[in-house]
Amino acid sequence: MKIRLIAFIAAALLLFNACKKDKPTPAPTTNNKYDGKYRMEGTLTDHHDASFVWPGNTYLYNLVTTSPTQIKLVSIDLGIDGHLLKNGINLTFYGTFGLLVNFDAATNKITSVTNSYGQPSLNGRSAILDPSGINTWDPVTKTVKIKYWMDEVGIAGHRTSFDETWVYVGAR
């Protein structure tokens, strides 16, 4: 009887350990220099649907460290990766479109942007850096100046143009 009990406990432990999920990769423990809370100012032009417009310069976003040279843009109002906009008087956002921004640590230049939901996302949206922008982070003011596009499968050209300044407000 004792042997059966020991065998049962051993089998249960093996099964338990085999079914344990891997732990997710932990978030970086140190924030990069771009990390913080920012107020977004700027413009957006939706070339496909003119009813989508800039929501105003009062909304706050967190730039969240994902690596030593990358952040993701998280809307504080949405609580997720995303970009607020207005449709008439209503606040809304582009579904499955969030921004990952990559920096060159030596020059503070933005080197690329991608959609945090996939490039392209399941609904065909991609982020592309507009090379005509300043596309940099200022280490003195901690201000980001960035121009980028949202492309969407099935829509010719760039669907939406963004020209933004992210003004540093403080630590998040």
Helix ranges (DSSP H) in the chain: 2-19
Q: Is 134 exposed, middle or buried (0-12, 13-18, 19+ CB in 10 A)?
A: middle
Q: What is the pTM (predicted TM-score) of this model? A: 0.82
Q: How many residues does the chain have?
A: 172
The pLDDT of residue 8 is above 80: no
Q: Quick one: what percent of the chain has pLDDT higher than 90? A: 83
- Domain 30-170 maps to which CATH number in 1.20.1070, 2.40.160, 3.30.70, 3.40.50? 2.40.160
Reported as a single tens digit per residue, the pLDDT across 77-131 is 999 999 999 999 999 999 999 999 999 999 999 999 999 999 999 999 999 999 9
